[in-house]
Amino acid sequence: MATEAKYSIVREVGRGSYGVVYEAVVSHTRNKVAVKRMQCNVPENVELALQEFWALQSVQSQHENVIQLEECILQSGQVFQTISCQYRKSDNHLLLIETCLKGRRCMDPKSACFLWFVMEFCDGGNMNDFLLSRTPDSQLNNSFMQQLSSAVAFLHRNQIVHRDLKSDNILISHSPGGPVVKVADFGLSKICQAKVNVNQHCFSSACGSNFYMAPEVWEGRYTAKADIFALGIIFWAMVERITFRDGDSEKELLGTYICQGKELIPVGEALLGNPNMELQIPLKNKKSMPADLCRLLHDMLMFNPKERLDAFQLEIRIRRISYGKKRQYS
């Protein structure tokens, strides 16, 4: 990275189909940061990178449970240009789209085109690995549910629909008061028009991760309430430690599903096939989940999005559940 005078990359900490994440340090302060590199070699990748930028810059430094963007850097060949977080869809956006649409595929490293995101560094890894490396803890689960509900309500209040909520896309930062969750990975997010109710804005492109997708997402017509369904899957899996093994990575992931013989069917897909199906919540130990939490999960996972809680109702309800009590963590 040609900005190594300002940042020094220490190591790679994550890699996916959309980019590579590194641990780095700010040269003059030695503070740790996370640096995410997204290659912009085709229009689809450009769109993912820019959606992440628009979402993060629009809510920069406003909520402790949303990952903080420090700055964004556009690399074109050997030239690096800082993109101001005050920009909207400006000439930088149009230039980047135009570059890719004209077919400059970056086969030559000297003409490579990337977006580099410099973000706060989360020392606890992702929520999936963090939870599965520890014994179940109702107080910790309660804290995470409250933090995530607050974060999603904040995003929806700011017209941002995440569209890919899952435990792998939630990071953990240690603090004196206990672990702090950070909603991250906004590549599939969308910003709705300011004058439109976020729960009425309809999307038509099915996207996300299968095990967390609401029934209506499978059909390709959905609203922000799809994020609540995904949270419901996360909360249910977190409380009961329900996991599945990802077919591609072979990694154990938190997620709830419906068993049909030996096949694991995502809850949303199963509900789409049988809208009258009664979800068995809790799935395991009947004594492990109080009635108010059970009702909350049912209300988050309703087949009909009109009957499902929205983020603002969830934020209020989650504070009232009897499951777990807040305490300090070391």
Range 10-29 average pLDDT: 88
Q: Please report the pLDDT score of residue 23 as a whole number.
A: 95
Domain ranges across the chain: 7-120, 127-320
Q: Mean of the per-residue pLDDT values for the chain?
A: 87
Contacts of 199 (CB under 8 A, 6+ apart): 156, 223, 224, 225, 310
Q: Coil, strand or helix: which one is 120?
A: strand
Specify the length of the chain in residues.
Answer: 330
DSSP one-letter code for 18: S
Q: Please report the pLDDT score of residue 2 as a whole number.
A: 47
Under a CB-based contact definition with an 8 Å cutoff, are residues 113 and 272 in contact? no
Burial class of 194 by CB neighbour count within 10 A (0 to 12, 13 to 18, 19+):
exposed
Query: In terms of DSSP H, where are the helices of the chain?
Result: 43-58, 91-101, 127-132, 138-157, 215-219, 225-240, 267-273, 291-300, 311-320
Pairwise CA distance, residues 184 & 15, whole Å: 14
Contacts of 223 (CB under 8 A, 6+ apart): 161, 198, 199, 200, 201, 202, 203, 216, 305
Q: Please report the pLDDT score of residue 112 as a whole number.
A: 72
Q: Which residues are catalytic?
A: 164
Pairwise CA distance, residues 232 & 157, whole Å: 19
DSSP one-letter code for 166: -
Query: In terms of DSSP H, where are the helices of 2-132?
Result: 43-58, 91-101, 127-132
Q: Is the pLDDT of residue 106 over 80?
A: no
CA-wise closest residue to 39 among 19, 54, 14, 56: 19
Q: Is the pLDDT of residue 99 over 70?
A: no
Convert the pLDDT of each residue in 186-225 to its tens digit.
989 999 877 778 998 999 888 889 999 999 999 999 999 9
Q: Please report the pLDDT score of residue 78 as a whole number.
A: 81
Pairwise CA distance, residues 46 & 80, whole Å: 17
Which amino acid makes up residue 118?
V
Percent of the chain residues past pLDDT 90, beyond the cut: 62
Q: Please report the pLDDT score of residue 330 as a whole number.
A: 45
Convert the pLDDT of each residue in 238-295 to its tens digit.
999 999 998 777 899 999 999 988 899 999 999 999 999 999 999 987 777 899 999 9
Range 3-26 average pLDDT: 84
Superfamily (CATH) of domain 127-320: Transferase(Phosphotransferase) domain 1 (1.10.510.10)
Q: Please report the pLDDT score of residue 43 as a whole number.
A: 78
Helix count and strand count (H, E) for the chain: 9, 14
Q: Using pLDDT thresholds of 50, 70 and 90, give the confidence band for residue 83.
A: confident
Range 316-325 average pLDDT: 90
Distance from CA of residue 58 to its chain's centroid? 16
Convert the pLDDT of each residue in 110-166 to its tens digit.
567 888 999 999 999 999 999 999 999 999 999 999 999 999 999 999 999 999 999
> What is the CATH topology of the domain spanning 7-120?
Phosphorylase Kinase; domain 1 (3.30.200)
CA-wise closest residue to 281 among 317, 312, 319, 242: 242
